[in-house]
Amino acid sequence: MAMDKSFGSTTATSPTARRHSSRNWRNCAKVERASIFLRQPQKPRQLHHSDVFGCALRNWRPLIDTRIQFATFALMSVYRLLLLCFAGVVAAHELRAESAFATHGAERDARGAAAESSLTFSSIHVDGPYIAMTFDDGPSATLTPKLLDLLAAHHIKATFFVIGENVAEHPDIIARAAREGHEIGNHSWSHPNFAKMSDPGVRSQLQRTDDAIKSATGMRPTLLRPPYGSITAREKRWIHDEFGYQIILWDVDPYDWKRPGPAVVRNRILKETQPGSIVLSHDIHPGTLEAMPSTFDALEAKGFKFVTVSELIRMAVAEPSHLPPQTRQSDPAAITPSPSPSLIPSQRPSPSG
């Protein structure tokens, strides 16, 4: 079979072509490597097109030296190691920052708790059989004057937490209470729930009542009892900052607002009252007024003495650390003196104020 001398035209079945192909493979080593990696590739001469790739594959060598590859790998390893070290330093710094933030937060919370304890009182630890009787929601045109007569007969000083709109209607009653030595506190203008109100709304309730008390008595109040005992910690702080009020709650609640009857009111007060107690009642319910004569007699018989809330706070002493507040003696004769004064917060009241 004849052979075409042009490149790549030899017939595969021709013996001459087979010999020619064999010579072509032997010539592979002499041919410049045909590779995409060569700067100036040259086409092989007298090679079948099927042999070009085979020669190139057999003679291919990477242009990049192995030493360069190793150096590149080493540099990348060092780079990754530096990144890991940097990430570790950043993580350690963030951990220290979080720890410092947590410590600062705990200290801030402790300071906030201490500050709140000096603003809010449910009862006071005292050296002596002293208690504070408090009356909410007045003045009542008919009942409050009768209560003032009863207090005068027993030589008792009480604290009245008044509603501003009632003060505006009966300023003479509040003026009399102040003249007779009773303490007047703010109980809002219309008895809303402060915890559900905006700051401007709460501020208006307090300011209007404050002004009404000042107009009737010539003095501004220093105590606040939030309606229902409902107030947030944030409200306590800004109210104290703006008005200077201490927040007064209670630890004895006879639930007289449910009108259970004079005997029930009396018995509940006698059962729950302890030295330092702040007793909650309401001078707008006839049953409460009916319960007070026998209640006062029984409390006096047990040795209790009556003071205003501010006087009770000034009597505060430190409670022994080994004696929790719940173990206080209800018998006034069992009280023992304690040194170093401080103000002791007590348990939360039930929401009936």
Tokens of 147: 């209560």
Distance, in Å, from the CA atom of 28 to the CA atom of 52, rounded to the nearest integer, reads 9
Among the options 125, 182, 240, 282, which is catalytic?
Answer: 282
CB 299 within 8 A of CB 131: yes
What span, in angstroms and rounded, lies between the C-alpha atoms of 42 and 31?
8
CA distance 112 to 105: 10
* Inter-residue contact 285 to 259 (CB < 8 Å): yes
51, 136, 210, 251: which is the annotated catalytic residue?
Answer: 136
Residue 253 appears among annotated catalytic residues: no
Integer CA distances (angstroms), 346 to 70, 252, 295, 328, in order: 75, 12, 24, 11
Is residue 282 annotated as part of the catalytic site, yes or no? yes
Is residue 204 within 8 Å of 189, Cβ to Cβ?
yes
- Rounded Cα distance between 101 and 220, Å, is 41
Could you list the active site residues?
Answer: 136, 282
